[in-house]
């Protein structure tokens, strides 16, 4: 059976050979087909597949640059950075995005809906770019994610440098805050190179000097495996830190200023200037916010609370608030009258407690009358009638000219964002804006004591005082002292004076004397409040009406009936100053809201100046003792039935 039979063997062999050739042909065809297939894949579609393979295994991970550190004028660190972590999700790595988010929310105990909303908002981003879903992760959240990294290849923990500001919101309006770049901002050239999610300065110095402070983010290019685990680093572009910036601020004065404000329970604003250079030594606006709340990615509840707060803590009163200057404006009147030759330092004007100008009676605050006054005594005692008389002898445009030279018209030009322009009326302004186009001379009488249509920012008042202190040079206030671009501190020059005039020495002496007397004589309006032994503080008080005296009582009664605090209609108190009288080193303004009296601002100014002198002379820094009765403020108890009074002191 096994031996092949002779019959048909040849035929069979032929047949078999033919079929073997058939098999060879089949295999050849199949292999040609395979070669063709690989030709298409490897040669024709090479570029496309190559790119996909690269994308598969390379990742670009950001190395975030820390923002520049801010120093005070003596080198004390004010604002620095700490390490924080954020948790991001890479959609490309996720097979089921909602499930990934659910898992991540579960292990971090975070809000799943919020994460979904963030991812939804950023759905237009490239799919490989991490989307930050937890901006400032707690240690526990980071630990939870790291522990489960293998199950969560799509989740990455990124280290981020985060701003730390001094505690308690110190100098909040000076520093400002940082936040995510807004879609509208991305359209601007300044931010054109940034991508969504970048952190930029959104207020204060952080905003104005953002370009210097921001630095340049670096990148790490890494190979990852299919689980998203990093295998090796291919290339590293180191981030470039933001530049270090030295501010003109003196940290001790800044602390002294805010301590005193808080001890007295006032809101308000203040600035302390080096009159020679325009450098700002300290500034504040209260109430404030805590910039640290923003650094940690502000929560919507905190943001809403800040925006809804009737006291408007986000606004910078120092440069945005516009108030009537009250009696502090008498300094402008004095200089204008002297320089225009209307009076001499020895001219005498009598005060009988009131005066009639343009057919109408204007009261002095001292209804008994000050008697015969020279300029020095008029400034010392803030005599209204003396300055009404100057207002009668000068037209509004002359006053406007001198107000401008002293910095009370327009913006001061400080390097902070969103400054409002101070305003002085003029005939040109009246012609342009009023229906009848007229300025009435009677209005000039009110302006002469800082009432009526004149409104100034506290910062402008500080610059006015600095200009008086330096004898006529209106400097541009500035906060940037030096910048370190990597080669040590380079001083940053100020923008230079806005205008200069040279006051006659006799005129300057008369004004300085009058202001010195206001603080240092028993008759002075700020006596005992602002005086520093041996430092010859010169100053002037003023009150800014919130509402006209005629309407005040009615408004307060209405507020009381509505359950609101009637103190909201109380006058604001001004104190402007410089010291020492003959060689001024520091000038400025303290503005306290609803304090009713300018002299209640003086102790704050005094404390900060004492701090200045103590530091300069190497003495221990003073401790603030608040005046016995904390004055009225919006947060203080209401004092009922505040009497109406005419004019300011």
User: Does residue 23 belong to the site contacting another protein (CB under 8 A)?
Assistant: yes
Peptide bond into 517 cis (omega under 30): no
30 binds another protein (CB under 8 A): yes
Task: Specify the residue, 154 or 274, whose C-beta has the smaller distance to another protein.
Answer: 154
Q: How far is the CB of 177 from another protein (least distance, A)?
A: 41
Q: How far, in whole angstroms, is CA 412 from its chain's centroid?
A: 16
Q: Which two tokens stand for residue 609?
A: 């100046």
Which residue's CB is nearer to another protein, number 95 or number 300? 95
DSSP-derived secondary structure for 378-393: HHHHT-HHHHHHHHHH
Q: Which is nearer to another protein, 57 or 625 (by Cβ)?
A: 57
Q: How far is the CB of 32 from another protein (least distance, A)?
A: 9
Number of residues this chain uses to bind another protein (CB under 8 A): 46
CA-CA-CA-CA dihedral for 524, 530, 533, 538, to nearest 10: -70
Which segment (175-183, 222-230, 310-318, 486-494) binds another protein by CB under 8 A?
A: 222-230
Q: How many CB atoms lie within 10 A of CB 218?
A: 15
In the set 225, 233, 238, 309, which binds another protein (CB under 8 A)?
225
Does position 147 interact with another protein (CB under 8 A)? The reply is no
Residue 102, interface with another protein (CB under 8 A)?
no
- Mode of pairing for the β-strands spanning 489-491 and 371-373: unpaired
Three-state DSSP at 289 gives coil
Per CB under 8 A, 126 contacts another protein = no
* Cβ distance to another protein smaller for residue 48 or 346: 48
**Residue 215 forms beta bridges with which residues?**
none
Query: Burial level of 342, CB count in 10 A (0-12/13-18/19+)?
Result: middle
Q: Given the rule CB under 8 A, which of 20-28, 207-215, 558-566, 640-648 is the region that contacts another protein? A: 20-28
In the complex with another protein, which residue's Cβ is closer, 53 or 629?
53
Nearest to 482 by CA among 71, 202, 164, 81: 71
Short-list 502, 516, 404, 509, CA closest to 460: 404
| Among the listed residues 139, 150, 184, 226, the single contact to another protein using CB under 8 A | 226
CB of 149 to another protein, least distance (A): 16
15 interacts with another protein by CB under 8 A: yes
Phi, psi of 369 (to 5 degrees): 90, 145
Among the candidate windows 16-24, 169-177, 276-284, 506-514, which touches another protein by CB under 8 A? Answer: 16-24
8 Å CB contact between 610 and 537: no
- Residue 235 sits in the site that holds another protein (CB under 8 A): no
Which of 4, 126, 310, 643 binds another protein (CB under 8 A)? It is: 4
Binding of residue 128 to another protein (CB under 8 A): no
- Of 50-58, 254-262, 265-273, 634-642: span binding another protein (CB under 8 A): 50-58
Q: Residue holding tokens 């390490």? A: 83
* Least distance CB 13 / another protein (angstroms): 8
> Which residue among 38, 128, 221, 440 contacts another protein (CB under 8 A)?
38
Interacting span for another protein (CB under 8 A) from 35-43, 410-418, 450-458, 484-492: 35-43
**27 lies in the site for another protein, by CB under 8 A:** yes
Q: Is 22 in the site for another protein (CB under 8 A)?
A: yes
Any contact of residue 341 with another protein (CB under 8 A)?
no
Q: Which is nearer to another protein, 22 or 98 (CB)?
A: 22
What does the DSSP assignment read for 321-369?
--B--GGGGHHHHHHHHHHTTS--TT--EEE-SEEEETTEEEE-SSTT-
CB 58, min distance to another protein, A:
9
Q: Which is nearer to another protein, 223 or 626 (CB)?
A: 223
Q: Which of 14, 17, 121, 441 binds another protein (CB under 8 A)?
A: 17
The first and second tokens of residue 109, run together, are 């105990």
Name the minimum Å distance from CB 135 to another protein.
Answer: 28
Residues forming beta bridges with residue 480, ordered by sequence position = 247
Stretch in the footprint of another protein (CB under 8 A) among 6-14, 265-273, 316-324, 418-426: 6-14
Q: Quick check: 308 binds another protein (CB under 8 A)?
A: no
Question: In angstroms, how far is the first alpha carbon of the chain from the final one?
Answer: 138
List Cα–Cα distances, 611 to 75, 169, 245, in angstroms: 17, 20, 24
Instruction: Note whether 12 binds another protein by CB under 8 A.
Output: yes
Q: Which of 75, 83, 95, 150 binds another protein (CB under 8 A)?
A: 95
Phi, psi of 68 (to 5 degrees): -65, 145
- Tell me if 236 contacts another protein by CB under 8 A: no
Does residue 1 interact with another protein by CB under 8 A?
yes
Q: Judged by CB, which is closer to another protein: 50, or 485?
A: 50
Pick between residue 106 and residue 234 the one whose CB is nearest to another protein. Answer: 234
Evaluate the CA torsion angle 498, 399, 583, 322 in order and state its sign: negative
Compute φ and ψ for 475, nearest 5 degrees: -80, 160
Peptide bond into 47 cis (omega under 30): no
Q: Is residue 14 within the footprint of another protein (CB under 8 A)?
A: no
At residue 569, the 3 state secondary structure works out as helix
Report the residue from 8, 98, 496, 506 that binds another protein according to the rule CB under 8 A. Answer: 8
Q: Which helix (H) or strand (E) holds 61?
A: strand 58-63
- Could you say whether residue 41 binds another protein (CB under 8 A)? yes
Q: Which is nearer to another protein, 201 or 228 (CB)?
A: 228
Tell me the C-alpha distance between 272 and 286, whole Å.
Answer: 15
Backbone angles phi, psi at 23, to 5 degrees: -65, -40
Q: Which is nearer to another protein, 42 or 195 (CB)?
A: 42
408-420 burial code (b ≥16 CB/10 A, e <16): bbebbbbbbbebb
Residues constituting the chain: 649
Nearest to another protein of 42, 418 (CB atom): 42
Structure tokens, 189: 């050239």
Judge contact between 257 and 86, C-beta under 8 A.
no
- Catalog residues that contact another protein under the rule CB under 8 A: 1-2, 4-5, 7-9, 12, 15-17, 19-20, 22-24, 26-28, 30-31, 34-35, 37-39, 41-43, 45-46, 48-50, 52-54, 56-57, 95, 223-227, 231
């Amino acid at each position: 059976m096994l031996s092949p039979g002779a019959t048909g063997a040849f035929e069979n062999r032929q047949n078999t050979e033919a079929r073997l050739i058939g098999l060879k042909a089949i295999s050849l065809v199949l292999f040609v087909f395979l070669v063709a297939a690989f030709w298409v894949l490897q040669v024709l579609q090479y570029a496309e597949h190559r790119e996909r393979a690269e994308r598969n295994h390379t990742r670009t991970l950001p190395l975030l640059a820390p923002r520049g550190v801010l120093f005070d004028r003596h080198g004390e660190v004010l604002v620095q950075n700490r390490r924080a972590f954020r948790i991001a999700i890479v959609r490309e790595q996720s097979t089921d995005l909602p499930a990934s988010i659910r898992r991540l929310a579960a292990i971090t105990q975070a809000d799943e809906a919020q994460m979904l909303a963030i991812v939804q908002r950023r759905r237009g981003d490239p799919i490989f770019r991490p989307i930050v879903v937890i901006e400032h992760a707690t240690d526990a959240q980071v630990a939870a994610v790291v522990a489960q990294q293998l199950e969560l290849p799509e989740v990455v923990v990124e280290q981020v440098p985060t701003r730390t500001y001094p505690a308690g919101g110190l100098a909040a309006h000076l520093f400002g805050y940082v936040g995510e770049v807004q879609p509208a901002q991305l359209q601007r050239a300044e931010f054109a190179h940034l991508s969504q999610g970048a952190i930029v300065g959104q207020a204060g110095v952080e905003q104005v000097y953002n370009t210097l402070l921001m630095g340049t983010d670096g990148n790490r290019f890494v190979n990852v495996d299919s689980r998203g685990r990093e295998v090796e680093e291919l290339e590293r572009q180191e981030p470039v830190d933001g530049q270090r910036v030295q501010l003109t601020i003196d940290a001790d004065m800044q602390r002294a200023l805010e301590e005193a404000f808080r001890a007295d329970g006032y809101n308000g604003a203040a600035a302390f200037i080096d009159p020679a250079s325009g450098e700002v030594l300290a500034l504040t606006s209260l109430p404030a916010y805590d910039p640290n709340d923003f650094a940690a990615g502000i929560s919507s509840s905190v943001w809403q609370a800040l925006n809804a707060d009737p006291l408007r803590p986000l606004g910078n009163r120092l440069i945005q608030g516009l108030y009537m200057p009250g009696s502090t404006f008498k300094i402008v009147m004095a200089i204008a009258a002297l320089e225009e030759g209307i009076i001499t330092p020895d001219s005498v004007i009598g005060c009988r407690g009131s005066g009639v100008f343009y057919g109408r009676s204007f009261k002095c605050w001292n209804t008994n009358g000050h008697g015969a006054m020279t300029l020095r005594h008029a400034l010392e005692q803030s005599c209204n009638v003396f300055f009404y008389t100057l207002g009668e002898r000068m037209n509004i445009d002359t006053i406007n000219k001198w107000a401008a030279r002293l910095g009370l018209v327009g913006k001061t030009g400080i390097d902070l964002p969103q400054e409002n322009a101070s305003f002085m009326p003029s005939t040109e302004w009246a012609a342009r804006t009023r229906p009848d186009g007229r300025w009435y001379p009677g209005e000039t009488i009110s302006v002469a004591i800082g009432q009526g249509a004149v409104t100034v920012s506290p910062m402008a008042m500080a610059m006015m005082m600095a200009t008086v202190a330096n004898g006529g040079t209106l400097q541009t206030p500035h906060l940037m002292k030096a910048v370190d671009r990597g080669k040590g501190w380079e001083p940053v020059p100020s923008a230079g004076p806005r205008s200069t005039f040279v006051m006659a020495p006799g005129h300057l002496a008369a004004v300085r004397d009058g202001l010195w007397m206001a603080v240092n004589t028993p008759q002075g309006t700020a006596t005992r409040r602002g005086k520093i032994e041996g430092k010859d503080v010169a100053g002037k008080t003023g009150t800014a009406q919130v509402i006209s005296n005629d309407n005040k009582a009615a408004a307060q009664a209405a507020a009381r009936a509505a359950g609101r605090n009637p103190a909201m209609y109380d006058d604001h108190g001004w104190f402007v100053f410089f010291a020492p009288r003959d060689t001024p080193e520091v000038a400025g303004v303290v503005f306290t809201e609803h304090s009713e009296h300018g002299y209640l601002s003086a102790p704050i100014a005094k404390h900060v100046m004492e701090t200045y002198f103590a530091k300069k002379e190497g003495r221990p820094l003073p401790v603030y003792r608040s005046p016995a009765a904390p004055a009225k403020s919006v947060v203080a108890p209401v004092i009922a039935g505040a009497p109406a009074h005419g004019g300011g002191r």
